[in-house]
Structure 1
Amino acid sequence: MFSIEEIKTAESKIKTGADFPRFIKEIKDLGVIRNDVYVANGLSVYFGEEDYSLQASQDEYPALIINNESSAEKLQHALKIHQNGETDYITFCKQAADAGVEKWVIDLNEMTCIYLDTEQKELIKEEISSI
């Protein structure tokens, strides 16, 4: 199974959204099958086979307030500029909070990322490109 050190090493390589597909490949190779990321506090929960899971928090992550009014349009804009490498992770998280994203769920079997609002309604579901 994967360790918190392996996850932290993979996370440390992410500078912008453009690095995301490499990160996904790396954690998938470690055995991660799902990753839930909570925007308000930066908590990430990594799931593996046989109910294995680990929690990791982002270092120096500011507490964020999630907007009660969700906006798929705001989120789409934040995703576009982040995936183009124009913003760092914390900036993207702040923009996601402003767009009403409570968490996102990465399914590494289906290679999708679903962004959910505070009512667990899907704002955007995107396919993760493979490397």
Structure 2
Amino acid sequence: MFTIQQIKEAHSKVKSGADFPKYMQDIIALGVTSFETFVFDNHTNYYGKDNFQISSIGFSETLVIADKSNIEQFKSDLKMHQQGKTDYMTFLNDCAKSGVEKWIVVMDTMTCSYYDKLGNEMVVEVIPSV
């Protein structure tokens, strides 16, 4: 299966949200079938075939996730990130202030779903192909 180091190497090529589709292709090639990233410390659970799971270590400093979600603000921030106008740390901070607790990416459907603290789906985006 894949390792966290292999995923880190693929992720090191990502400079903004504009690079996300290529990153998806790279980790699919490694065998990742889905992953779940938690905004508060950026740790991620990666899943592969045959119930394979591996997790990255999060940041030591954590972000506070807003209790009230702001979907419209998040959509605006997400668009800016996808256009390459913000870096990853800015995006994480934008997620936190808009109440995004985590996102889940599913490779079979090429979707990324963002969730608030109550588990409500805030936004679902289709990841474009490269």
The residue aligned with 2:87 is: 88
Deviant stretches of 4+, over 2 Å = none
Partner of 1:123: 122
2:44 corresponding residue in structure 1? 44
Aligned residue identity for 2:50: E
- Alpha-carbon distance between aligned partners in 1 of 2:33 and 2:56, rounded to the nearest angstrom: 15
Q: Could you tell me which amino acid in structure 2 is paired with residue 18 of structure 1?
A: A
**How far apart, CA to CA, are the structure 2 residues paired with 1:29 and 1:61?**
30
Between the aligned partners of 1:91 and 1:61, the Cα distance in structure 2 is: 17
The alpha-carbon deviation at position 62 of structure 1 amounts to 4.1
How far is 1:57 from its partner?
Answer: 3.0
CA distance in 2, matches of 1:119, 1:98: 15
Q: CA deviation at 1:61?
A: 6.7
Report the CA distance shift for 1:61/1:12 in structure 2 as closer, same or farther (over 3 A).
farther
- Alignment-derived partner of residue 27 in structure 2: 27
8 Å Cα contact 1:42-1:61 kept in structure 2: no
Q: Paired residue for 2:106?
A: 107
Output the CA distance in 2 between the equivalents of 1:11 and 1:115. Answer: 19
Paired letter, 1:2: F
Gap change, CA 1:124 and 1:61, over 3 Å in 2: farther
Asked if the contact 1:16–1:86 (Cα under 8 Å) also holds between the matched residues in 2, the reply is: yes
Counterpart code for 1:44 = T
The 2-side partners of 1:91 and 1:118 are apart by: 20
Q: 2: CA distance between counterparts of 1:72 and 1:49?
A: 33
> Counterpart in 1 of 2:65?
66
Question: Structure 2: any 5+ residue segments left out of the alignment?
Answer: none
| Aligned-residue RMSD, C-alpha | 1.1
Q: 1: distance between equivalents of 2:60 and 2:27? A: 21
User: Residue type matched to 1:19 in 2?
Assistant: D
Q: Quote the Cα distance in structure 1 between the aligned partners of 2:65 and 2:15.
A: 23
Question: What TM-score comes out, normalization by structure 1 length?
Answer: 0.95
